[in-house]
Chains A and B, each alone.
Chain A
Amino acid sequence: MSETLKVPTMAEYVALGKQPEVLFWVGCAGSFDDRAKKITKAFARILNKANVDFAVLGAEESCTGDPAKRAGNEFLFQMQAVTNIEVLNGYEVKKIVTACPHCFNTLKNEYPSLGGNYEVVHHTQFLKSLLDDGRLTVEGGKFKGKRITFHDPCYLGRANGVYEAPRDLLRKLDVELVEMRKCKTNGLCCGAGGAQMFKEPEPGNKDVNIERTEQALEVKPDIIAAGCPFCNTMMTDGIKGKEKEGSIEVMDVAEMIASAEEL
């Protein structure tokens, strides 16, 4: 596989007196979570393949503050935001792509009034634009005809109205796209949002990710496609809980494209 990932940092770009086309905001999960790192790498490989001039912040990136804000810690959120904005504005960043809908939502919607104005896109939107512009081509290949259901991340779908970009990418892979009974505007949360990822759930009779996994199993998919590292974790856990990990995979849309292209 691609042992030679080309992932320069903003600092390296600036040292060369250049500006990348886009900043890849990796996010905490994408940087540290073993499962999410695979998504990060898959996306980076696609960017390399499409010859996209991109950079990461590396050690200069910090949490966007999303979990703090959803938990109610506005103070911590704004401290994170203004610190990140100083770094981003210092590098004169214009466009950001991220594989995390939480980072996407926060950077896109909540940074502007604190002085951070960027064009922010989700990685599925960015990949779609690469395809539309002919910079990247994909073929169905190994996913052709497979039953795939896409789980809408709340912070991509309802929160920002992005429903079609990930589905368009899946259609390019010639998959058999099946929708869960709760999808798009009515999609059910995976249970991780609102800082729930970092705490135990309140007492109830079921975990949210199990409920959502059951909805996914109803449509008998070969693969559950996701567009968020946290949804990915929750759905993967759900599939394990249902002892279906042998037959059903949870994959990020970017991973599927990278895999189809054998990157």
Chain B
Amino acid sequence: MQYVQNIIFLIVLVLGVGFFVKNIKKLLRNINLGKDVDRSDNKTKRWRNMAKIALGQYKMVKRPVSGILHVVVYVGFIIINIEVLEIIIDGLFGTHRIFSFLGGLYDFLIGSFEILAFLVLVAVIIFWLRRNVMNIKRFLSPELKGWPKSDGNIILYFEVVLMGLFLTMNAADLQLQIMGADHYVSADGSITGAFPISSFIAPLFDGMSISALVIVERAAWWIHIVGILIFLNYLYYSKHLHILLAFPNTWYAKLKPQGEFDNLKAVTDEVMLMMDPDADPFAAPAEGAEEVEVGKFGASDVTDLNWVQLMNSYSCTECGRCTSECPANQTGKKLSPRKIMMDTRDRLEEVGKNIDENNGVFVMDNKQLLDDYITKEELWACTTCNACVEACPIGIDPLSIIIDMRRYMVMEESAAPTDLNNAMTNIENNGAPWPFNQMDRGNWINEA
């Protein structure tokens, strides 16, 4: 009978982690629907970027208020996870504070967890106020209406509840230790752990019986650990995946100068063929040559994007720093780089579900990323200024998606705005976006 709790805990743990792993596999499958792109060069620089931007929160603190609050929650999250390890071991083996043999260090650790938990609570409450009371523009954009707003709040509620339970659990534990309850009290009767915060909560339990306190402590312990498992599984359905994906996201981010856009290889092949005086445009394919399917230029759907762009979409936390820096968005245009990322993820999820429902094969659904999610008006409003790329705290590149989609519109649909078509015709005919004769390029020299 005494092992029932431990067995139930084991089952809950296996189910919780198992379901999470299942979803992570789905996530990787979806990301791999993207085209291949090689980002394995310059590993030293990539590790350094990851350490600086993801681990070191270098870009987060560029906005000091939200940045420092985020660092508190981030450090709290990582450090308090050490305690989760103890909680899991205690749960599996029915021990009480298994790491307490660390002595003074243990007191220090538990004490710092408590202080961090308290700071996280404060930070999370400020975050909630920023999102719900303070009318901060980037949290009021149209793309955040409905689920994305609730999603943000749910995550904050989770954290409040988890931290509250953690402190309640410690407070009840402390009270039980003081009362000398079996299982809780140490061999020599001294207090295990230091409780700088929960010692203020413990007096609330004065007058409660040991059995009632055990129920409080056990309830807080159970809801806390089950809550963590639920939160773990909530990640996949929320914008909160960045706590995992920020790391690979910064590692695989573009290292080239931000102004450098890739040169499409398929186009280079065509152009080189045109420039080759010996090329025979009517040449029959070589005997036995495989019929090559002509690729699509640019992107109209998520599967035309590369896997880093798709990973970007899963990593996006919808903080909106990109959108708040975007010149088009600031001047009332429809473009919002955050929405580009959110739409990409939504469409990718839709494609993934389609594949799941049709035994692993995508069945045409007459929808695509372009037009059904992202409109042409949004795409044409971009000035390619890279402010969104610069602003992203985890190295997401919304601009590359915009450009790939412009490529599709121009090269596959010939759907550029008329003015642009005129400019491009001029470039083609007279080597300048304006209708001036190329022969007149040097005229300025003699106009002095």
Is there a chain A Cβ closer than 8 Å to B365's Cβ? Answer: no
Out of A114, A188, A207, which one reaches B263, CB within 8 Å? Answer: A114
Residues of B within 8 Å of A208, CB to CB, are 327-328, 330-331, 383
Out of A57, A65, A205, which one reaches B331, CB within 8 Å? Answer: A205
Given A9-B442, A159-B386, A208-B331, A74-B424 contact (CB < 8 Å):
no
Out of A7, A56, A62, A188, which one reaches B387, CB within 8 Å? Answer: A188
Q: Would B427 and A202 count as touching, CB distance under 8 A?
A: no
Give the residue name and chain of the A residue nearest to B422 (CB).
Answer: A198
Residues of A within 8 Å of B270, CB to CB, are 75
Out of A72, A75, A110, A154, which one reaches B406, CB within 8 Å? Answer: A72
| Contacting residues of chain A (181-196) with chain B, CB-CB under 8 angstroms | 185-189, 191-196
Q: Would B390 and A185 count as touching, CB distance under 8 A?
A: yes
Cα-based distance from A78 to B267 in the complex (angstroms): 8
Cα-based distance from A208 to B325 in the complex (angstroms): 12
Out of A2, A81, A202, which one reaches B328, CB within 8 Å? Answer: A202
Interface size on A, residues (CB 8 A): 79
Stretch at the interface among A25-33, A124-132, A169-177: A25-33
Is there a chain A Cβ closer than 8 Å to B417's Cβ? Answer: yes
Give the residue name and chain of the B residue nearest to A3 (CB).
Answer: B448
Q: Would B381 and A71 count as touching, CB distance under 8 A?
A: no
Given A82-B275, A188-B387, A71-B424 contact (CB < 8 Å):
yes
Chain B proximity of A215: nearest CB distance (Å): 10
Given A9-B442, A74-B297, A79-B271, A113-B433 contact (CB < 8 Å):
no
Cα-based distance from A90 to B380 in the complex (angstroms): 37
Chain A proximity of B64: nearest CB distance (Å): 14
Most B CB contacts (10 A, CB to CB) among A26, A33, A70 go to A70
Give the residue name and chain of the A residue nearest to B334 (CB).
Answer: A202
Is there a chain A Cβ closer than 8 Å to B60's Cβ? Answer: no
Residues of A within 8 Å of B423, CB to CB, are 67, 71, 195, 198-199
Out of B272, B381, B385, B386, which one reaches A202, CB within 8 Å? Answer: B381
Interface string of B298-336 (1 = CB under 8 A from A): 100000000000000000000000000101101111110
Given A63-B427, A158-B258, A72-B298 contact (CB < 8 Å):
yes
Q: Would B407 and A74 count as touching, CB distance under 8 A?
A: yes
Q: Would B420 and A191 count as touching, CB distance under 8 A?
A: no
Residues of A within 8 Å of B331, CB to CB, are 191, 201, 204-208, 210-211
| Contacting residues of chain A (31-61) with chain B, CB-CB under 8 angstroms | 31-33, 37, 40-41, 44, 56-59, 61
Give the residue name and chain of the B residue nearest to A203 (CB).
Answer: B333
Is there a chain B Cβ closer than 8 Å to A76's Cβ? Answer: yes
Chain B proximity of A70: nearest CB distance (Å): 5
Out of A28, A69, A74, A204, which one reaches B433, CB within 8 Å? Answer: A28
Residues of A within 8 Å of B419, CB to CB, are 198-200
Cα-based distance from A80 to B427 in the complex (angstroms): 8
Out of A2, A7, A70, which one reaches B403, CB within 8 Å? Answer: A70
Residues of A within 8 Å of B416, CB to CB, are 71-73
Cα-based distance from A108 to B377 in the complex (angstroms): 31
Is there a chain A Cβ closer than 8 Å to B289's Cβ? Answer: no
Is there a chain B Cβ closer than 8 Å to A5's Cβ? Answer: yes
Cα-based distance from A210 to B330 in the complex (angstroms): 11
Cα-based distance from A95 to B206 in the complex (angstroms): 82
Cα-based distance from A76 to B271 in the complex (angstroms): 9
A-B contact count (CB 8 A): 229
Q: Would B381 and A201 count as touching, CB distance under 8 A?
A: yes
Out of A28, A37, A113, which one reaches B432, CB within 8 Å? Answer: A28
Chain A proximity of B122: nearest CB distance (Å): 29
Chain A proximity of B412: nearest CB distance (Å): 10
Given A76-B427, A80-B427, A110-B263, A202-B335 contact (CB < 8 Å):
yes
Give the residue name and chain of the A residue nearest to B435 (CB).
Answer: A32
| Contacting residues of chain B (422-448) with chain A, CB-CB under 8 angstroms | 422-424, 427-428, 431-434, 436, 438-445, 447-448
Most A CB contacts (10 A, CB to CB) among B258, B331, B411 go to B331
Cα-based distance from A3 to B446 in the complex (angstroms): 8
Out of A33, A113, A194, which one reaches B385, CB within 8 Å? Answer: A194
Is there a chain A Cβ closer than 8 Å to B256's Cβ? Answer: yes
Q: Would A109 and B427 count as touching, CB distance under 8 A?
A: no
Out of B271, B327, B440, which one reaches A75, CB within 8 Å? Answer: B271
Chain B proximity of A54: nearest CB distance (Å): 12
Residues of B within 8 Å of A194, CB to CB, are 382-385
Given A194-B382, A198-B423, A211-B327 contact (CB < 8 Å):
yes
Residues of A within 8 Å of B439, CB to CB, are 59
Residues of A within 8 Å of B325, CB to CB, are 186
Q: Would B264 and A74 count as touching, CB distance under 8 A?
A: yes
Out of A9, A159, A199, which one reaches B417, CB within 8 Å? Answer: A199
Cα-based distance from A55 to B447 in the complex (angstroms): 17
Is there a chain B Cβ closer than 8 Å to A236's Cβ? Answer: no
Given A40-B444, A114-B263, A63-B383 contact (CB < 8 Å):
no
Q: Would B441 and A58 count as touching, CB distance under 8 A?
A: yes
Is there a chain B Cβ closer than 8 Å to A160's Cβ? Answer: yes
Most A CB contacts (10 A, CB to CB) among B381, B433, B440 go to B433
Is there a chain A Cβ closer than 8 Å to B20's Cβ? Answer: no
Interface string of A101-134 (1 = CB under 8 A from B): 0000100111001100000000000000000000
Q: Would A62 and B448 count as touching, CB distance under 8 A?
A: no
**Supplied contacts A76-B424, A194-B384, 9 more A-B pairs, CB within 8 Å:** A26-B444, A41-B447, A75-B267, A75-B270, A160-B259, A195-B423, A200-B419, A201-B331, A203-B333
Closest 5 CB pairs of A and B: A159-B259, A72-B406, A194-B384, A62-B431, A205-B332
